[in-house]
Amino acid sequence: MKKVRKAERIAAIVNILTENPNQVFTLTYFCQMFNCVKSTISDDIDGVKEVFKSYELGTIETISGAAGGVYYNPLMSRDQMLEFTGQLSEQLSDPSRIIPGGYLYTNDLLYCPKTCSKIGNALASLFKDVDIDYVITVETKGIPIAMMTARVLNKPMVVVRNKSKLTDGTVIYMNYMSSSGHMIKTMCLSTKAVKKGSKVLFIDDFMKAGGTAKGIIELMQEFECEVVGVGVLMATKQPIQKLYHSHKSLLLLSEIDEKNKNVYIKTAL
C-alpha cells in the first residue's frame, strides 16, 4: 500500500472528525485507513489539537485507554458566542421584522442552515457539561435549531407534536395550560420515542412565561424521563418569573415597540 503523507492524513482526519461532531473514532480506525502505526496518528492529532486551539476552531479531544479515541467538539468560546449573539441581535432588531400584533418575524433566520448551525453550536456550548440522552423540542419552529444542537451533541432528537399523526403509532397525549392560563393546549409523543430513565435537554426558539417548558417537563414525567436542561434562542424579559426558572437563553427580548417601530434585543450571555 502507498505511504500516505502527514498533510494528506491530516486532511482526511480533520474532514472525518468535523463531519461527525462528538463522535469518538479509535486511533486504530485511522491506522487501518492509512496503513500506519498508532504513534504516527497520535502525532498527527497532537498537531491538529494545537491548530484548532490557536484558531479557535473548536476542540479536538482525546480519550486514552483501551476504549480510547479522538473526537471533535465544535465548541464556541465565550468571545465567539458574544460576537455571534451580537450579530443576531442586530439582525433581529430590524424594525421591518415587526409583524401586526407586535410579533417578530424570525423564520428566515431559524430556517437558514448557516445561522441555524451556529445557533446549534452556541446552544450546545451552553450545555457542554450536561449529560443527556436526547434533545427534545416541540413542533415546528424549534425543530431546525434543536436538530443542529442534537447534531453537535451527537444525540438523537425527539419532536413533540401538538396533534398526533398515524405514523406516530401509540402516543401519550397531555393537556396543559398556556402560560396566560386562558387556553388548554395539547402535546403528544409516541410511546416509542424515548427510553425510560432518560435525561433530556429541551430546546426551543422562544420562551415567554415558560408554559411549554413546564408542559414538556410534565410530559417527560409520564415517560419517566427527566428534563436536565432548557435552552432557548430568545427569552422575553417579562415576566421575570418564568414557570421554569433555570433556563439558558442566547438572546433577551426586552420590548417590541410596534408604535415607534423599535425592537430591543440583546445578548443574554
C-beta of 66 vs 169, nearer to a second copy = 169
228 and 164 in contact (C-beta within 8 Å)? Answer: no
186 and 173 in contact (C-beta within 8 Å)? Answer: yes
| Interaction of residue 104 with a second copy, rule CB under 8 A | yes
CA-CA-CA-CA torsion sign (127, 131, 133, 136) = negative
C-beta of 171 vs 230, nearer to a second copy = 171
C-beta of 55 vs 246, nearer to a second copy = 55
219 and 198 in contact (C-beta within 8 Å)? Answer: no
Which residues ranging from 21 to 60 are in contact with a second copy (CB under 8 A)? Answer: 23, 33, 44, 47-48, 50-52, 55, 57-58
CA distance 82 to 98: 24
Min. distance of Cβ 1 from a second copy in angstroms? Answer: 12
Q: How many residues of this chain bind a second copy (CB under 8 A)?
A: 64
DSSP 4: P
266 and 252 in contact (C-beta within 8 Å)? Answer: yes
C-beta of 141 vs 199, nearer to a second copy = 141
- Of 3, 65, 101, 241, which one interacts with a second copy (CB under 8 A)? 101
Start-to-end CA distance of the chain, whole Å, equals 52
103 and 58 in contact (C-beta within 8 Å)? Answer: no
Which residues ranging from 134 to 173 are in contact with a second copy (CB under 8 A)? Answer: 139-141, 143-144, 147-148, 150-151, 154-159, 161, 165-170
C-beta of 66 vs 110, nearer to a second copy = 110
CA-CA-CA-CA torsion sign (97, 102, 106, 108) = negative
- Residue 239: asked if its preceding bond is cis (omega within 30°), the reply is yes
| Interaction of residue 95 with a second copy, rule CB under 8 A | no
- Picking from 110, 222, 228, the residue whose alpha carbon sits closest to that of residue 172 is 222
Which residues ranging from 190 to 219 are in contact with a second copy (CB under 8 A)? Answer: 190, 192-193
| Interaction of residue 220 with a second copy, rule CB under 8 A | no
Piece of 174-182, 186-194, 221-229, 250-258 that binds a second copy (CB under 8 A): 186-194
Min. distance of Cβ 155 from a second copy in angstroms? Answer: 8
Which H/E stretch holds residue 205? strand 199-207
Q: Which residues bind a second copy (CB under 8 A)?
A: 6-8, 10-12, 14-16, 18-20, 23, 33, 44, 47-48, 50-52, 55, 57-58, 74, 99-101, 103-108, 111-114, 116-117, 139-141, 143-144, 147-148, 150-151, 154-159, 161, 165-170, 190, 192-193
